[in-house]
Amino acid sequence: MANNQLQRRRLTAWVLGIGLVVLLVATIVWSIATGQYAMTPDELLATIRRFVGIDPPAPIGSELARNDAVLLQVRLPRIVLGLVVGAALAVAGVLTQSLFGNPLAEPGVIGITSGAALGAAISIVFGFSWLGIATTPFVAFLAGLVTSAIVWSIARSISTQRAVSLLLVGIAINALAGAATAFIFVLAPTTARDAVVFWQLGSINGATWTAVLMTALPVAVALIAVLWLPHRLDALALGDRAAKHLGLRVELVRILTIVLAALLTGAAVSFVGVIGFVGLVVPHAVRLLVGPQHRHVLPLSLLGGAWLVSIADLGARTLVAATDLPIGMMTAIIGAPVFLLLLRQTLDVQRRGEA
């Protein structure tokens, strides 16, 4: 019986993985071909041929050169940044849910998102510029990491029940960071207020290859480290005592998990702002479909997060003509109803188990 269940879950994981890859490729192609500046399939293909060196470069100032600029300097950086951000947030969600042993947890619980928002607000309002356009993302990233470190150190000092204490301390630190952000917002001039609000709603508009590189590097490092975790997170889910009997260094795994979740979330929100629901809905949906094994949940969540942010960003830039909607609004519109359905399904399963 157990063997049959494992085989079914393995088959479901393969089917879901292939489906997500197909959806992701279709969304990328759709995003490349769609936008405020219309391009025919032939023009897109010609631009790609010039990009890979098959055809000679377009003459400067020509319509062909304009097509190249739209695709290579506007659409592609935005698409790639969305993929990286979505993948990072979803994997961070898996790690956070594993850390708390709760499928309804998400990275914001441990203060990363609120800390990053506070850092961004400080940078915007006080006009920090020592790293140019990368200043605000860097300050947001650093503030997110510092906030999560504070949450961890306080939780560690007040209780041995790490999951519970992390949750409670995270709620308190989130409230403090939110109050500090509101205070800075009140003091800010109008132009700075608009920038803070825009950052808190999230947007991939204005993505550059520099932003892609600066986001992708820490995300890639974190994802490589995550490869060490799947079986250890499975053991951790059995409880501390059972995990220790299996030879697991529980404290080390917990510390690495929170560090990687903070690194992934901080890097993801540093350039694009706060994007909600990705780290909550995607891992939760994947667990319901394929079960709790992290060797399935982690890669499928990565694909699902990349697709969710990609389709949300496509909607953000195409639903209203000449308007770029906040991507945080789009992920909330998609994620909130899905989350309610998942929550209802989870509660139904629990009731059936208790009956």
What pLDDT shows up at residue 92? 92
Query: Which of the four pLDDT bands, split at 50, 70 and 90, describes residue 4?
Result: confident
pTM across the whole model: 0.86
- 12-354: which CATH topology? ABC transporter involved in vitamin B12 uptake, BtuC (1.10.3470)
Residues 238-264: tens digit of each pLDDT: 777 787 887 778 778 888 888 888 888
How far apart CA 113 and CA 111 sit, in angstroms, is 6
Cβ neighbours of residue 101 under 8 Å, at least 6 residues apart? 163, 237
Say whether pLDDT at 354 is over 60: no
Q: Are 140 and 267 in contact (CB under 8 A)?
A: no
Q: Are 74 and 354 in contact (CB under 8 A)?
A: no
Place of tokens 């009731």: 351
- Over the chain, what is the mean pLDDT? 82
How far apart CA 262 and CA 125 sit, in angstroms, is 24
Cβ neighbours of residue 352 under 8 Å, at least 6 residues apart? none
DSSP 8-state assignment for residue 319: S
Q: What is the mean pLDDT of residues 273-298?
A: 87
How far apart CA 18 and CA 28 sit, in angstroms, is 15
What are the residue boundaries of the structural domains of the chain, listed by start? 12-354
Query: Which of the four pLDDT bands, split at 50, 70 and 90, describes residue 81?
Result: very high
Residues 289-344: tens digit of each pLDDT: 888 888 899 999 999 999 999 999 998 888 877 778 888 888 888 877 877 777 77
What pLDDT shows up at residue 91? 94
Query: Which of the four pLDDT bands, split at 50, 70 and 90, describes residue 279?
Result: confident
Residues 152-201: tens digit of each pLDDT: 788 777 655 556 677 778 788 888 888 888 888 888 787 777 777 777 78
Residues 195-208: tens digit of each pLDDT: 777 777 888 887 88
Query: Which of the four pLDDT bands, split at 50, 70 and 90, describes residue 353?
Result: low
**DSSP state letters, 133-200:** GGHHHHHHHHHHHHHHHHHHHHHHHH-S-HHHHHHHHHHHHHHHHHHHHHHHHHHS-HHHHHHHHHHH
What pLDDT shows up at residue 46? 76
- 165 or 7, higher pLDDT: 7
Say whether pLDDT at 50 is over 60: yes
- 290 or 45, higher pLDDT: 290
**Amino acid (1-letter code) at residue 243:** A
Say whether pLDDT at 2 is over 70: no
What pLDDT shows up at residue 328? 82
Place of tokens 């399904």: 345
Q: Are 261 and 95 in contact (CB under 8 A)?
A: yes
Q: Are 153 and 230 in contact (CB under 8 A)?
A: no
Q: What is the mean pLDDT of residues 277-298?
A: 88
**Spatial CA neighbour of 217 closest among 283, 150, 271:** 271
List C-alpha distances in Å: 292 to 249, 275, 281.
20, 25, 15
Q: What is the mean pLDDT of residues 266-291?
A: 86
Q: Classify each residue of 211-221 as buried b or exposed e, where b means 16 or more C-beta atoms within 10 Å of its C-beta.
A: bbebbbebbee
Q: What is the mean pLDDT of residues 22-43?
A: 82
Say whether pLDDT at 288 is over 90: no
Tokens of 43: 């023009």
